[in-house]
């Protein structure tokens, strides 16, 4: 996000019959084709200062949907081994990682790979892994889940929710999530914190 952009916080209400959450002033563009409710944000790309720790909901969703580079917005690198992903190094999480991993960070293009690893504090501190995934289907969303309350929805927690989970009706989405399959690891680097 840029400093001139902001996430809007309109009033949430419960849908009739306990069918999930909605905006009190909901418009057609607030939901995607699956009926998932999305955060609202102003758009002022390039205005003000970049806020690297904050992700713009609309640009993230577009980049994940179209497999665009998270840095430059052009098509991510892809070849017969799949789409290129730059991930924080979590090789100790499970055997075969990142196979099956759920990701909300968009892929990258080859041109932006070196820049991203150099300027991103998380990638420098924690290390990184570069991999290609032959398959990376859209899985669900990351967002804040709510539950029914006394007249208005009650926030529960931020989590990853599959499109087929009943909780999707109660989730205010902020990021689109894909799952990585048939991964080829190209590079693993330890971070500054590990040395």
Q: State the pLDDT at residue 127.
A: 84
For the stretch 69-126, pLDDT in tens is 998 999 999 899 999 999 988 887 888 889 999 999 999 999 999 888 888 878 888 8
Cα separations (Å) of 192 from 121, 124, 195? 10, 6, 5
Dig out the tokens for 1 from the structure: 């996000």
**Residues sharing a CB contact under 8 Å with residue 105, sequence separation 6 or more, in sequence order:** 70, 85, 86, 87
Query: What's the length of the chain?
Result: 195
Considering only residues 122 and 170, tell me which one the structure prediction assigns the higher pLDDT.
170
């Amino acid at each position: 996000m840029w400093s001139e952009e902001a996430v809007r916080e309109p009033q949430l209400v419960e849908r009739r019959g306990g069918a999930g959450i909605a905006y009190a002033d909901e418009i057609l563009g607030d939901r995607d084709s699956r009926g998932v409710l999305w955060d609202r944000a102003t758009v002022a790309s390039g205005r003000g200062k970049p806020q690297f720790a904050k992700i713009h909901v609309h640009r993230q969703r577009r980049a994940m949907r179209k497999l665009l580079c998270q840095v430059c917005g052009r098509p991510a690198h892809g070849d017969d081994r799949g789409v290129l992903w730059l991930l924080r190094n979590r090789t100790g999480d499970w055997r075969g990682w990142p196979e099956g991993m759920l990701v909300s960070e968009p892929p990258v293009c080859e041109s932006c790979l070196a820049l991203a690893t150099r300027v991103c504090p998380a990638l420098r501190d924690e290390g990184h892994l570069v991999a290609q995934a032959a398959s990376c289907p859209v899985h669900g969303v990351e967002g804040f889940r709510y539950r029914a309350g006394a007249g208005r929805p009650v926030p529960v927690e931020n989590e990853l929710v599959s499109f087929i989970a009943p909780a999707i009706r109660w989730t205010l989405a902020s990021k689109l999530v894909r799952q990585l399959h048939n991964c080829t690891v190209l590079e693993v680097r330890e971070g500054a914190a590990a040395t």
